[in-house]
Amino acid sequence: MSKRFQVVGIGNALVDVLSHCDDDFLAENGIGKGVMQLIDMERAVALYDRIGPAQEVSGGSAANTIAGAAHLGGRVAYVGKVSDDQLGAIFAHDLRAQGAVYETPPAPSGNGAETGRCLVLVTPDGERSLNTYLGSSEHLSPDDIDEAMMAEAEWIFLEGYRFDGPDSHEAFARAIAATRAAGGRVALTLSDPFCIERHHHAFADMIRNDVDLLFANRAEIMAMYETDDFEAARRAAAAEVEIVACTDSENGAYIMAAGQEVHVPAIPTRVVDATGAGDLFAGAFLWGLTHGFDMETCGRMANVAASEVISHIGARPEADLRALFREHGLI
């Protein structure tokens, strides 16, 4: 297969606003630790007033995945909505500068919705707690799905978070149909346990009918299959989806395909900022997959990429991931 794009990601286009705080601050401000909470503009402003000095870096889960695959040299594109404002320009620049194609037209500024942002609060243990103001990212519409682009994709990569939003199911349906019609395949990341609760039925339908590759972490896959038994959840997913890539933090990852399960140990790393671990895992996995590597190697590449991104602030790679793959004997 030699399509123009190896992976096209679709998700919430967000700029991360990264700041440090302690656990007390999370408790005092009703912030759930380690998960993503949606907040409105009013709450975003109030919370921003309370946090310390911050730094701004482009984020968004699927955008991080695509940036990771682009960093590795993959032919990739991204679809997600920003506004025609300064943060939108930053988001677009960073993705294009990484080598990804990004052509989604920005929403006109001044209509109330600004470019979405995610207040990322990093506690001393490196855990990140996400407070997302979706802004214009919520308004990605079916019209933003360029069917010709989808037809040029070996894989589309759908971000579970993107189920939050009025036209999101339709947009995803359109992307899936156009991709499938041209022989492409569909990957989905479950994103977050609370997101799964909000959209359980839609997720279940999509997984059963359309998903060829499922990314999830331990909490997400158990939420999806409504069980406390991690292994049972993995088996249930593997029965429905051709490839399941399931992360389990410092315990590594499980890759299930063709009736087999491979466990890939994590790379021991001091966690500075866990933001983007799952995103980069997916980005490297997809890069490996679309470059003909076997499941175990893809899983090992994914772990290396995840370990790099949690070793520093920000959710996109800073070190040369290909050099790290070479060091680990993967390429």
Q: Point out which residues bind a copy of itself (CB under 8 A).
A: 48-49, 51-58, 67, 85-87, 90, 93-95, 97-98, 114-115, 314, 316
Closest CB to a copy of itself among 42 and 228? 42
Residue 17 CB, nearest approach to a copy of itself (Å): 8
User: Are residues 17 and 90 in contact, defined by beta-carbon separation less than 8 angstroms?
Assistant: no
Residue whose pair of structure tokens reads 């059963």 in the numeric block: 208
Q: Distance (Å, rounded) from C-alpha 130 to C-alpha 18? A: 10
Q: How far is the CB of 70 from a copy of itself (least distance, A)?
A: 10
Shortest Cβ 85–a copy of itself spacing (Å): 6
Of residues 197 and 318, the one with the C-beta less far from a copy of itself: 318
CB of 146: closest distance to a copy of itself in angstroms? 23
Tokens describing residue 98: 């990484």
CB 100 to a copy of itself: min, Å: 10
How far is CA 134 from its chain centroid?
Answer: 15
Give the shortest CB-66-to-a copy of itself separation in angstroms: 12
CB of 235 or CB of 312, closer to a copy of itself: 312
CB of 94 or CB of 138, closer to a copy of itself? 94
d(CA 133, CA 130): 10
By beta-carbon proximity to a copy of itself, the closer residue of 84 and 240 is 84
Identify the bridge partners of residue 185 per DSSP, sorted by sequence position. 155
CB neighbourhood size of 197 (10 A): 11
Strand partners for 101: 77
Alpha-carbon separation of residue 93 from 10, 162, 203 (angstroms)? 17, 21, 32
Chain-centre distance of CA 158, in angstroms? 8
Is the CB of 101 or the CB of 178 nearer to a copy of itself?
A: 101
Is residue 238 within 8 Å of residue 262, measured between CB atoms?
no
User: Exposed (0-12), middle (13-18) or buried (19+): which is 140, by Cβ within 10 Å?
Assistant: buried
Using the minimum distance from each CB to a copy of itself, give the nearer residue, 117 or 300. Answer: 117
Count the neighbouring beta carbons within 10 Å of the beta carbon of residue 4.
14
Region for residue 249 given its phi and psi (left: phi exceeds 0; alpha: psi -120 to 50; beta: otherwise): left
CB of 96 to a copy of itself, least distance (A): 9
Q: Collapsing DSSP states into helix, strand and coil, what is residue 195?
A: helix
Nearer to a copy of itself, 229 or 318 (CB): 318
Report the C-alpha gap between 182 and 320 in whole angstroms.
Answer: 33
Nearest distance from residue 51's CB to a copy of itself, in Å?
Answer: 7
CB of 89 to a copy of itself, least distance (A): 9
Nearer to a copy of itself, 129 or 297 (CB): 129
* Torsion, CA 12, CA 17, CA 22, CA 25, rounded to 10: -80
